[in-house]
Amino acid sequence: MSNDEIIVGIDLGTTFSLVAYVDAAGPHIIRDENGDGRVPSVIGVTPGANGAPPQVTIGWTARAHAIENARATVYSVKRLIGKGLEDIRRDLPYLSYAVSAGPRDTVQIEIDGRRYTPEEISALILRALKERAERHLGRPVEKAVITVPAYFDDAQRQATRDAGRAAGLEVVRIVNEPTAAALAYGIGLHRPPPRARAAASPPGHTPLPIPSCPTADAGGVAAHAGQTVAVYDLGGGTFDISILRLEDGVFQVLSTAGDTHLGGDDFDRAIINLVTEEVHAQYGVSITAPATKQALRTLAEAVKIRLSEQTQAEIELDLGRDRVYRRTITRAEFEHRIAPLVEQTLTLCGQVLRDAQLTPADLEQAILVGGSTRMPLVRQRIAEFFGRPPYTALNPDEVVALGAAIQASILSGKQADMLLLDVTPLSLGIETMGGAMGKLIVRNTTIPCRATEKFTTFVDGQTAIKINVLQGERELAADCRSLGEFVLDGLPPMAAGMPKVEVEFLLDANGILNVSAKELRSGQQAGIQIIPSHGLTRAEVDRIARESIQFAQRDIDAHRRIDLRNQVEFDTHKTEQMLARVGHLLAPEERARIEQDIAALRKLAQETSDLDELHRALTAFGHGTLHLAEIGIREALVKGDKEE
Amino acid sequence: MPTRMDNGERCTPAKCETCHGPMDSPAFCDNCHSLYPADGLNHFELLGFLPSFDIDAAALRQRYLQVSRGVHPDHHGRGTDSSVSLRLSAQLNEAHRILSDPVLRAEYLLELVGGTAASSDKSVLDGVLATTLMLREETAEAKAAADTAALDACRARARQHYDTTLAQIAALARQLPGDEGLRRRLRATLNSIKYYQKLLSEL
């Protein structure tokens, strides 16, 4: 790898995102002209005049216009990425933009009649960070390390990687946020620069040299005396707790736990709920208008921040028609409302310690990361739980990006003495007979790791085996997250139980699953087709990467319509051929249903202007004809046998 | 692939095929950073230990970290090396997981000498089922009565059974390969300790 290859480190946060890099002087956050490294993770879309393409604003500008542009301002998209509509149902009442179900258990954001995937929105933020880095470094930036919450599952990790790819970045590694923070802590970045907005530091550079021999008392890791630390990371939308052993350049995660739906947004909601209830009681009105919702959200966030510094704050909300809601909220009142959420984080702290077989007394530090750890209640409860004051010397907003940049420099071969060993946060398994979850890899196993399992057939002549791959800790498959249906096909037709297929599940250093299969009797690599339950297909990611949304919408739709119609023609034609050949083997009802489906899909392809609907119909058609396709393949094989 | 002795017990000081320097580990060359797939190696060989129940925990960890530095995907990002590195790392992590746990280590040794797997021999030592059943009942009663002293007592007894069984496992595993009878006893003792492990995890 060439020495001047640049890999940036990106913290893609729920509320703010940052980009950093490492040079000879150490890791640096890339800042704006005001000295602020943070880019709000907010996107605003305004329709172009007279059919011109929509205009996109990102960051502070989008955030500043959030209230008047409420329906077209997207924030906290990290809570949606890699999720299905069911997963985010309790978020929906709080969002001022429209969210609907997308294909394959994804969600889509709807603005002015156009649908955006969370990956697309995240890609816009990543693109802004990429451009910021390119301006600062004066060269193209094509590679990045992106951080994710440690508790992100496979779908969320893949979606984040897809967002990077869609932004024109090769994501060389997905790193867990608390692990990145531990890297920054471990190399002795113990004294952060003052808060950017108040800082008089010059824009751009804030050199933080990596000490060659950091000392333990300065927060760095002494050469040989190891230490065990907890990283408590409470961000805008997610919570992670990780226990790490730091020793001699080795950063080993012992255990991790978290909640990808618990963070600053939820603390804001405590205030939002309070105001909503009281407004309803006093004025009999519900807050439903997107602009009012957005105004309340902005207000709640400001009040929450004020209550970290003061013991009370004023709330004032203009309800229109000369109605103004006013009240004073005390810190005690706020803390009373958020206490259950803070206790939830401590329950998880107890769990990671048990998983690591440690007690609070075994820890040298409890390190705080994430903006929400500025709240006094959080600090107080952590101090009580861990029996020591938490370590607050790191800048909670910047440390993750700095850690990502350090990991990037390890990956570019510049830190050969450092070794990062992370774990998988969730158990991985398969659905077994009777709908149970059969674990193959347990949570907190060091990654990369692999497990193999043998499968066979249940029916004579069966040529395909379906495997439902799961992630989660619950006993029942239905309670775990399905990563997708893996279909082993192309097996030679044999008597039931004869084929022996060995499937390898390999979790790579990104915590992302790779599956391969081998038929042991023939020693051949079995065909494996992965139908992900979630997320985007490779083609969709490439499409997003190709079409920047600045392109005219109509062009894109026209292309997509042609592609989809061609696909419809191809699939229906193939199905008709199959029906002519083996249709007599189907039940008459099934045959009639497929014939109706063919006609209906062709009609829809000619008539509809909703391409997403057509895409869904095409996918459903594919599922509805699976059985027919299986029969067709089996017949072809049997016939082949007879002819031999 | 560097050569090793036919009995598979010990990795000989091998030569790196790329730079011809001596190799400390069968998986990678410290000198030129070449990687070698280690598909045929068992966990002990991969980490450079003789197959034995007695293994020094500190030496194991040190060796594991040293080989990890050499083979980890963080240091072998691109090209053909990356898939070899991924597999070696997975293999190494598995080797460390097994060898650093005395129960898994004994089970692995039994497997290496051709003993039966838990899936085909489910026998347990006499009295284990009755003991765990009784402890489980007492635990349930203590929990129902919120009697922490009784619960602590249950935990202490379960721990004691666990420790005794582990000592039996160690004594048997040290005599491997042994005869068929010894291997069966070890199998039953390993099956037994899983009952105590499960009980302790619930307490």
Express each pLDDT in A248-279 by its tens digit.
889 999 999 999 889 999 999 999 999 999 99
User: How do residues A396-431 score in pLDDT, each as one tens digit?
Assistant: 999 999 999 999 999 988 877 889 999 999 999 998
What percent of chain B is modeled with pLDDT above 70?
Answer: 92
- pLDDT at residue A557 in the model: 61
A304 flagged as catalytic: no
8 Å CB contact of A509 and B93: no
In the numeric block, which tokens belong to residue A447? Answer: 């990654």
Residue where a domain terminates, one of A504, A537, A570? A537
Q: Are residues A518 and A463 in the same domain?
A: yes
Shortest Cα–Cα distance, A355 to chain B (Å): 10
Strand A227-234 with A365-369, pairing? parallel
In the predicted structure, residue A287 carries a pLDDT above the cut 50: yes
**3-state SS record for chain B:** CCCCCCCCCCCCCEECCCCCCEECCCCECCCCCCECCCCCCCHHHHHCCCCCCCCCHHHHHHHHHHHHHHHCHHHCCCHHHHHHHHHHHHHHHHHHHHHCCHHHHHHHHHHHCCCCCCCCCCCCCCCHHHHHHHHHHHHHHHHHCCCHHHHHHHHHHHHHHHHHHHHHHHHHHCCCCCCHHHHHHHHHHHHHHHHHHHHHHHC
Annotated catalytic residue A177: yes
Annotated active-site residue in A36, A78, A154, A162:
A78
- Confidence grade of residue A548 (pLDDT, cut at 50, 70, 90): low
Helix (H/G/I), strand (E/B), else coil: B39:
coil
A327 and A208 within one domain: no
**Residue A465: strand pairing partners:** A488
Range with the poorest average pLDDT among A208-217, A454-463, A479-488: A208-217
Determine the Cα–Cα distance for residues B126 and B148; give it in Å rounded to an integer: 30
Specify whether A200 is located in the same domain as A115.
Answer: yes
pLDDT at A622: 84
What total number of domains does chain A contain? 4
The three-state secondary structure class of A494 is coil
**Whose CA is closest to A388, among A363, A369, A359, A351?**
A363
pLDDT of residue A213: 35
Token pair belonging to B10: 């010990």
- The pLDDT score that the predictor gives to residue A337 is 95
Q: Could you say which of A281, A303, A337 is where a domain stops?
A: A337
pLDDT band at B70; cut points 50, 70, 90: confident
**Confidence class for position A55, pLDDT limits 50, 70, 90:** confident
**Chain A residue with minimum CA distance to B77:** A411
- pLDDT confidence tier of residue B10, bands split at 50, 70 and 90: very low
**The pLDDT value given to residue A128:** 93
Residue at B170 is within a domain? yes
Given this model, what pLDDT does residue A86 score? 87
Same domain, A434 and A359: no
Choose between A54 and B46: higher pLDDT. Answer: B46
Domain boundary among B100, B119, B147: B100
CATH code assigned at A614: 1.20.1270.10
- Cis peptide bond prior to A203, omega within 30° of 0: no
Residue B163 lies in a domain: yes
Is B198 within a domain?
A: yes
Q: What is the pLDDT of residue A191?
A: 39
The whole domain housing B87 covers 14-100
B154 CA: distance to closest CA in chain A (Å): 19
Q: Are strands A513-519 and A501-507 parallel, antiparallel or unpaired?
A: antiparallel
Contact A450 B90 (CB under 8 A): yes
Q: Tell me, yes or no, whether B19 and B93 share the same domain.
A: yes
Determine the pLDDT at residue B40: 81
Is the domain of A566 the same as that of A590?
A: yes
Q: Write out the residue range of the structural domain in which residue A301 sits.
A: 264-337
Statement: residue A458 has pLDDT above 90 = no
Could you tell me if residue B133 is inside a domain? yes
Taking only the tens place, the pLDDT of each residue in A17-34 is: 999 999 988 899 999 888
Q: Which residue has the higher pLDDT, B142 or B22?
A: B142
- B187 and B137 in a common domain: yes
**Residue A451 domain-assigned?**
yes
Q: Are strands A436-441 and A365-369 parallel, antiparallel or unpaired?
A: unpaired
Of A202-211, A251-260, A315-324, A486-495, highest mean pLDDT: A251-260
Is A159 in the same domain as A148? yes
**Domain co-membership, B91 together with B132:** no
Does residue A154 sit within a domain? Answer: yes
Residue B5 counted as domain residue: no
Q: For chain B, what is the domain count?
A: 2
Residues 6+ away with beta carbon under 8 Å from A302 = none
Per-residue pLDDT, averaged over A288-303, amounts to: 90
Using CA atoms, how far apart are residues B55 and B170, in angstroms rounded to an integer? 12
Please report residues of B whose CB lies closer than 8 A to that of A172. Answer: 77
Whether A196 has a pLDDT exceeding 90, the answer reads no
User: What is the predicted pLDDT for the residue at A545?
Assistant: 61
Report if residue A177 sits inside a domain: yes
Complex-level ipTM: 0.86
Mean pLDDT computed over every residue of chain A: 84
Give me the CATH number covering residue A329. Answer: 3.90.640.10
Residue A80 is part of a domain; what is its CATH number? 3.30.420.40
Residue B147 covered by a domain: yes
The string of pLDDT tens digits covering residues B130-156 is 998 999 999 889 888 888 898 899 999
Residue A543 lies in a domain: no
Across residues A35-48, what is the average pLDDT? 90
Q: Given A421, A454, A470, which residue is the final one in a domain?
A: A421
Which two structure tokens, joined as six digits, stand for B117? 């797997």
Q: Does residue B1 surpass a pLDDT of 50?
A: no
Same domain, residue pair A518 and A374: no
Of B84, B100, B116, which residue sits at a domain end? B100
A363 occurs within a structural domain = yes
Residue in B closest to A411 by C-alpha:
B74
Q: Are A76 and A126 in the same domain?
A: yes
**Touching check for A560 and chain B: CB below 8 Å?**
no
Q: pLDDT per residue over A57-107, tens digit each? A: 899 988 988 888 888 999 999 999 999 898 898 889 888 899 999 887 889
Range name among A157-161, A354-358, A448-452, B68-72 with the lowest pLDDT average: B68-72
| A364-382: average pLDDT | 95
For residue B97, list chain A residues with Cβ-Cβ distance below 8 A.
Answer: 445-446
Selecting from B68, B75, B93 the residue whose C-beta is nearest the C-beta of A416 gives B75
CATH of the domain at B62: 1.10.287.110
- A286 band by pLDDT with thresholds 50, 70 and 90: confident
What residue type is assigned to position A422 of the chain? Answer: D
Predicted confidence at residue A554, as pLDDT, reads: 46
Q: Residue A482: which H helix or E strand, with range?
A: strand A481-489
Q: Are residues A484 and A494 part of one domain?
A: yes
- Asked if residue A641 has pLDDT above 60, the reply is no
Residue B96 sits in the same domain as residue B132:
no
| pLDDT, greater one: A10 or A618 | A10
Residue A59 identity (one-letter amino acid) = G
- Same-domain status, B22 and B95: yes
Q: Please measure the distance between the N-terminal and C-terminal CA atoms of chain B and give it in whole angstroms.
A: 49
**For residue B11, what pLDDT band results from cuts at 50, 70 and 90?**
very low
Contact A57, A65 (CB under 8 A): yes
Are the beta carbons of A285 and A279 closer than 8 angstroms? yes
In which residue are the tokens 């319509």 written? A561
- Band the pLDDT of B123: cuts 50, 70, 90: confident
**Distance between CA atoms of A82 and A80, rounded to whole angstroms?**
6
Contact A449 B93 (CB under 8 A): yes
**Is B42 inside a domain boundary?**
yes
Q: Which of A330-334, A346-350, A357-361, A640-644 has the lowest mean pLDDT?
A: A640-644
**A2 found inside a domain:** no
User: Are B94 and B144 within one domain?
Assistant: no
Q: Is the pLDDT of residue B159 over 90?
A: yes
B76 and B146 share one domain: no
* pLDDT surpasses 80 at A159: yes
Cα distance from A98 to chain B (closest Cα, Å)? 40
Q: Is A593 inside any structural domain?
A: yes
Looking at the fold, whether B25 and B92 belong to one and the same domain comes out as yes
Q: Tell me, yes or no, whether A119 and A245 share the same domain.
A: yes
pLDDT in tens, A597-615: 999 999 998 888 787 888 8
Same domain, A171 and A250: yes
Tell me which of A573 and A130 has the higher pLDDT. A130
Domain boundary among B100, B120, B154: B100
Q: Is the pLDDT of residue A531 over 60?
A: no
Is residue B140 located within the same domain as residue B69? no
Do residues B96 and B142 both lie within one domain?
no
Smallest Cβ–Cβ distance between A419 and the set B65, B86, B96 belongs to B65
**A248 plus A268 within the same structural domain:** no
